[in-house]
Structure 1
């Protein structure tokens, strides 16, 4: 009887995890929630601060962080120097080089990113996808990021990134950017 209850509990947890992992991600908007136009090269120039956290598929929040970002734009390349400070006191720096490849399209790279990241601006929305060897305790973990950003005001941007490995969602990173 106890073994049956344990099995039922394990199946319920597995089902919940599967259901959570299969929740719908955003899609490119057909209509926009605002008349704002997100232009990365305008939003990220200068100093920006972001506050965020990683939440796994079971709802646990194992990590929170702050990111100080310094952005420069030379007319073709947007360089973002991101200094992460995690809640456990550890730090990390990532330097992105983003190239505007069309009116609304971008490519980019940073240390640890495999291949080329690519993204598209649509109205107040930006979708950015890449594969990265993400630093973790004891090494790195290769994951895919599917980032969605929404311009909330001239100085605020909301970011929800879906993190997966081998096609299985591990969790989400939620960030709130604010221009300084």
Structure 2
């Protein structure tokens, strides 16, 4: 027999699933908004700073952060040392090692990333996908990231990352990168 409490829980879960399904993610473009060409190895070489926040599916913003990024490109590998500082004072470092595998394709690894991340550049757009054990207050949480980046101009990049767990969207990370 279904209780009132379990009925309400089912309605809440179904509502969240419908809400998550209603907002579509971008697609790798066939036509471009600009004639700019994003080259990760050029954009991220040197010092970059990013400002971001996580927003859950209900619109709450539980966390904001700043990231100082030091990038080096050796002709084959792009290494990104990311130093996060969260609004609550917590810090984290993530070091990405990205390899260009084709004219427009990339793979990468970082501590906590499960397997290999993969990405594709097209025009001014980059799509980057990976699973990660994301550090949280009481340990880690395994989530999937579907990152979309758009080159706004030579020194600025906008990033919108869709974060999900078990196929259910948890929220989005919005980042604004700026070359120093």
CA deviations 1:77-134 (Å, max 9, x no partner) are: 0000000000000000000000000011000000000000000000000000000000
Quote the Cα distance in structure 2 between the aligned partners of 1:42 and 1:30. Answer: 23
Quote the Cα distance in structure 2 between the aligned partners of 1:151 and 1:99. Answer: 20
Quote the Cα distance in structure 2 between the aligned partners of 1:178 and 1:37. Answer: 16
Q: Secondary structure at the match of 2:102?
A: coil
Quote the Cα distance in structure 2 between the aligned partners of 1:31 and 1:20. Answer: 28
Quote the Cα distance in structure 2 between the aligned partners of 1:124 and 1:64. Answer: 26
Alignment gaps of 5+ in structure 1: none
Quote the Cα distance in structure 1 between the aligned partners of 2:13 and 2:96. Answer: 37
Alignment gaps of 5+ in structure 2: none
Shift of 1:138: 1.1
| Alpha-carbon RMSD | 1.8
Quote the Cα distance in structure 2 between the aligned partners of 1:110 and 1:19. Answer: 33
Please state if 1:161 is matched with 2:155.
Answer: no
Quote the Cα distance in structure 2 between the aligned partners of 1:131 and 1:166. Answer: 11
Quote the Cα distance in structure 2 between the aligned partners of 1:25 and 1:103. Answer: 24
Please state if 1:18 is matched with 2:14.
Answer: no
Quote the Cα distance in structure 1 between the aligned partners of 2:14 and 2:117. Answer: 33
**TM-score normalised over the length of structure 2:** 0.92
**TM-score normalised over the length of structure 1:** 0.92
Q: Secondary structure at the match of 2:59?
A: coil
Tell me the equivalent position of 2:37. Answer: 37
Tell me the equivalent position of 2:106. Answer: 106
Say whether the 8 Å CA contact 1:20–1:58 is kept in structure 2. no
